[in-house]
Amino acid sequence: MQPARYWRDNKTWKVWVGKRGTVVVSTVVTVSSPEHAAFQPYSYVLVNFGTQQHEFMGSGHETFQEGDKVECALRKITSGDDRSLIGYGIKVKKVT
């Protein structure tokens, strides 16, 4: 991950953290790039927030279905070696 890009991206995190929405569609990713291999399988979801829709990775190994209520949270999104930055980003988790 590039530090400058990481810094720019994290400025939008405050907009998403804690925001709740409804899953429109979901898919499970079983094959991905090496940086996301540690998280396989993971869900990739399209979430409706009422006025807008946005795409996110699912938190943990949760599977999502249409209509699930979710909340955005800050989570680890990439894995690297001991010398690289820890990649964080927004993921969604189910809420009851």
Of the candidate ranges 5-9, 13-17, 54-58, the one whose mean pLDDT is the lowest: 5-9
- Tell me what pLDDT residue 2 has: 66
> How many domains are contained in the chain?
1
- Tens digit of pLDDT for each residue in 52-82? 999 999 988 889 999 999 999 988 887 767 7
This prediction's pTM: 0.78
24-27 contacts, C-beta under 8 A, 24 or more apart? 24/48, 24/53, 24/66, 25/66, 26/58, 26/63, 26/64, 26/65, 26/66, 26/68
- Tens digit of pLDDT for each residue in 23-50? 999 999 888 777 777 778 889 999 999 9
For 89, the domain range is: 3-94
- Tell me what pLDDT residue 71 has: 97
Domain harbouring 26, CATH code:
2.40.50
